Amino acid sequence: SWNLILLETLKTRVVLVQEAGKREELLKALEEIKVPYIKTDTIEELGDSDSPEFESIFVVSEFQDSIFNNLCKADCRVIGPPVVLHCAQKGEPLPFSCRPLYCASMLNLVLCFTGFRKKDELVKLVTLVHHMGGIIRRDLSSKVTHLVANSTHGDKFRIAVSLGTPIVKAEWIYKAWEKRNEIDFCAADDDFRNQFKVPPFQDCMLSFLGFSDDEKANMEEMTEMQGGHYLPVGDERCTHLVVEESTVKDLPFEPLKNLYVVKQEWFWGSIQMDARAGESMYLFEKSESPGLKKSVSLLSLNTPNSNRKRRRLKETLAQLTRETDVSPFPPRKRPSAEHSLSIGSLLDISNTPEQSTTNGETPKSSARPSKNATPLALKQSARWQVAKELYQTESNYVDILTTIIQLFQVPLEKEGQLGGPILAQEEIKTIFGSIPDILDVHTKIKEDLEDLMMNWTESKSIGDIFLKYSKDLLKTYPPFVNFFEMSKETITRCEKQKPRFHAFLKINQAKPECGRQSLAELLIRPVQRLPSVALLLNDIKKHTAEDNPDKITLERAIESLKEVMTHINEDKRKTEAQRQFFDVVYEVDGCPANLLSSHRSLVQRLETVALGDDLCDRGEQVTLFLFNDCLEITKFNTFEAEF
């Protein structure tokens, strides 16, 4: 809305000067807002223009001619035709402005300038901003909505980056002025403004040290896409040397004082934020330096601390087994449970290799056993060993799901991201799907398994735990597994099309929580988890005595997992069949509408050649579509297939 100062004691009168008086839409707009008006070709005709009874507002079509200049010198109120049309459209009174106001395309925008050394250029830009309703501030603060930058150096630029204030080129103002006659145009519109944003590496000359040829080529390409240039290592014109800190321990030359030597996280962080990050946060230092400082990234996240988990496991499980590494990515020990399985082999879990019941070693424990603890010898049974592994893999799996959510999903969904949202909400939903729901279920399973291991007896039922959550597993897994390929495709497409997402993945996938695995590789874990659990439960069943009630319960638990996996396979087949069905409908010209039916599915497609003359000419190419209840025959011509 307008910030108005209404002069109620004076009558407002609009004076339409020259061309403005010939525009019918202006006359109609003034009638709608009930403001009297007169027309004039020259200012001299208005003998009573200085009358104290009237507050005259002059409407001028051009803000550069002699009439406009004379009105400004006389301190008259001057507005452009778009202001009148804007007020009529909004049902608002004409604004009072001490400066000439041509349009409202920068209304309520607060601008600050930096890096402009030519006074004439700055005066011109400021004047245009005022003509479009914008406000200028000398100092940058949180109230400034846009920083117009002619340089990426200086305090104003750094503050704008930290505040997330959009940083644009001067061209943004000039192009907005060209659209001054578009009533609904707003210069702050994201699609328009983003055309003129200052890219992260403007004014930067980058070199890359310690990267592979492919990685270096990729980063050089990204540099140019983000407004910078790249040079060979050692070139004196270079402003930034980006170092792969894991391979480079020392620099091959003594850097110049004005050269920033930064870690690669600065490079990817700048792209992710869509603005050049502060170099001081990412400075590279020699590994032998005694005063080595740890750089704290602005983009780092507080991920769950594994130390607390390790302490808790030591306290609860140390009496049961020697200390084990509970990293989300432990060494693979049991091929029966950990090898990757395809969806087609999910149900084939009967041929699990037998495991040795003893390993000939006595577990060492640093924790004092509780008074009610079962004798250690019982806890070394084969059944206990596999149950321990089931718990450990479940704990690792929960850690992986937590990493996916905390390190990737939460930051992508966060509001107020520097540079705006990295991905659209639809893309985020497609990538992560039901991962949060899967995590909720497995967190409960892990807690129940932990309680079971803490209070272990051979009669404790492991199968009951999975039967308890079988309905939840059936609800959460099929939606994710069936659309996993779409999730991977979305990641690949977004990484190619959106540099900020590519940078986001580079930063976070390099963190230790990911175990050097990509997001797509982490997301495949839910696809693999249920077969792994089924294999372990099958092993536990083999080492469970016949008179143990858990023997039957385990069989039921395995059957419940089979049901989930069968449901996944059936849904996957249905989804694929529906896709093939629609392919037929779109491919065949004139396809009957009644061919689409919920009970109908495509069985086979066959390319043939006609041998008779009944349906078409002999030798003509014919395609047969066999459905479960009918056969459709199509013939092929030069241009398209048709019935």
Residue 28 lies in a domain: yes
The reported pLDDT for the residue numbered 585 is 64
Question: 635: pLDDT confidence band, cut at 50, 70 and 90?
Answer: confident
Question: 375: pLDDT confidence band, cut at 50, 70 and 90?
Answer: very low
Percent of the chain with pLDDT over 70: 77
Q: Is the pLDDT of residue 357 over 50?
A: no
| Mean pLDDT to the nearest integer, 116-129 | 94
- Per-residue pLDDT tens digits for 437-472: 999 999 999 999 999 999 999 999 999 999 999 999
| Mean pLDDT to the nearest integer, 19-46 | 83
Residue 511 lies in a domain: no
Examine the fold and report which residue of 281, 314, 349 is the final residue of a domain before the chain moves on: 281
User: 92 with 2: CB under 8 angstroms?
Assistant: yes
Residues 39 and 82 in one domain: yes
Higher pLDDT, 573 or 510: 510
- Per-residue pLDDT tens digits for 545-565: 999 999 999 999 999 998 888
Question: 161: pLDDT confidence band, cut at 50, 70 and 90?
Answer: confident
The reported pLDDT for the residue numbered 218 is 92
Residues 191 and 209 in one domain: no
Q: Is the pLDDT of residue 326 over 70?
A: no
Residue 406 lies in a domain: no
| Mean pLDDT to the nearest integer, 366-393 | 65
Q: What is the largest CA-CA distance in the chain?
A: 114
Question: 577: pLDDT confidence band, cut at 50, 70 and 90?
Answer: low
Residues 215 and 263 in one domain: yes
The reported pLDDT for the residue numbered 1 is 43
Examine the fold and report which residue of 196, 226, 253 is the final residue of a domain before the chain moves on: 196
Question: 267: pLDDT confidence band, cut at 50, 70 and 90?
Answer: very high
Total structural domains within the chain: 4
Residue 311 lies in a domain: no
Residues 619 and 599 in one domain: yes
Residues 186 and 213 in one domain: no
Percent of the chain with pLDDT over 90: 46
Q: Specify burial of residue 286 (Cβ count, 10 A radius: 0-12, 13-18, 19+).
A: exposed
Chain mean pLDDT for the chain: 80
User: 295 with 280: CB under 8 angstroms?
Assistant: no
| DSSP assignment letter at 1 | -
Residues 138 and 182 in one domain: yes
Query: Residue 107 in 3-state DSSP?
Result: coil
Residue 446 lies in a domain: no
Q: How far apart are CA 413 and CA 428, in angstroms?
A: 8
The reported pLDDT for the residue numbered 92 is 85
- Per-residue pLDDT tens digits for 75-95: 888 999 999 999 898 888 888
Residues 209 and 189 in one domain: no
Residues 178 and 218 in one domain: no
Least confident segment among 174-178, 251-255, 266-270, 313-317: 313-317
Residue 235 lies in a domain: yes
User: 575 with 389: CB under 8 angstroms?
Assistant: no
Examine the fold and report which residue of 90, 121, 146 is the final residue of a domain before the chain moves on: 90
Q: How far apart are CA 537 and CA 467, in angstroms?
A: 12
Residue 630 lies in a domain: yes
Higher pLDDT, 458 or 52: 458
Residues 188 and 114 in one domain: yes
Instruction: Please name the residues in contact with 68: beta carbons below 8 A apart, sequence gap of 6 or more.
Output: 60, 62, 78, 100
Residue 442 lies in a domain: no
| Mean pLDDT to the nearest integer, 311-334 | 43
The reported pLDDT for the residue numbered 572 is 57
| Mean pLDDT to the nearest integer, 182-203 | 92
| Mean pLDDT to the nearest integer, 222-249 | 93
Higher pLDDT, 185 or 153: 185
Least confident segment among 6-15, 178-187, 288-297, 378-387: 288-297
The reported pLDDT for the residue numbered 299 is 44
The reported pLDDT for the residue numbered 579 is 59
Residues 182 and 244 in one domain: no
| Mean pLDDT to the nearest integer, 349-363 | 36
Residues 145 and 121 in one domain: yes
Q: How far apart are CA 420 and CA 423, in angstroms?
A: 9
Higher pLDDT, 466 or 374: 466
The CA R_g of the chain, rounded to the nearest whole Å, is 36
Read off the pTM. Answer: 0.60
Q: Is the pLDDT of residue 594 over 50?
A: yes
The reported pLDDT for the residue numbered 415 is 87
- Per-residue pLDDT tens digits for 390-400: 999 999 999 99
Looking up residue 166, the CATH number of its domain turns out to be 3.40.50.10190
Q: Is the pLDDT of residue 388 over 60?
A: yes
The reported pLDDT for the residue numbered 152 is 86
- Per-residue pLDDT tens digits for 476-520: 998 888 888 889 999 999 999 999 999 999 999 988 899 889 999
Helix (H) or strand (E) holding 98: none
Secondary structure in 3-state letters for 230-280: ECCCCCCCCCEEEECCCCCCCCCCCCCCCCEEEEHHHHHHHHHHCCCCCHH
Dihedral sign computed on CA atoms, order 629, 630, 636, 641: negative
Query: Residue 78 in 3-state DSSP?
Result: strand
Q: Is the pLDDT of residue 239 over 90?
A: yes
The reported pLDDT for the residue numbered 98 is 82
Residues 185 and 119 in one domain: yes
Q: Which phi-psi region, left, alpha or beta, contains residue 203 (left: φ > 0; alpha: ψ -120 to 50)? A: left
The reported pLDDT for the residue numbered 596 is 62
| Mean pLDDT to the nearest integer, 351-380 | 38
Going by C-alpha positions, the residue among 450, 347, 349 that lies closest to residue 393 is 450
Boundaries of domain holding 629 = 588-642
Going by C-alpha positions, the residue among 519, 274, 271, 510 that lies closest to residue 409 is 519
Question: 301: pLDDT confidence band, cut at 50, 70 and 90?
Answer: very low
Amino acid at residue number 208 = F
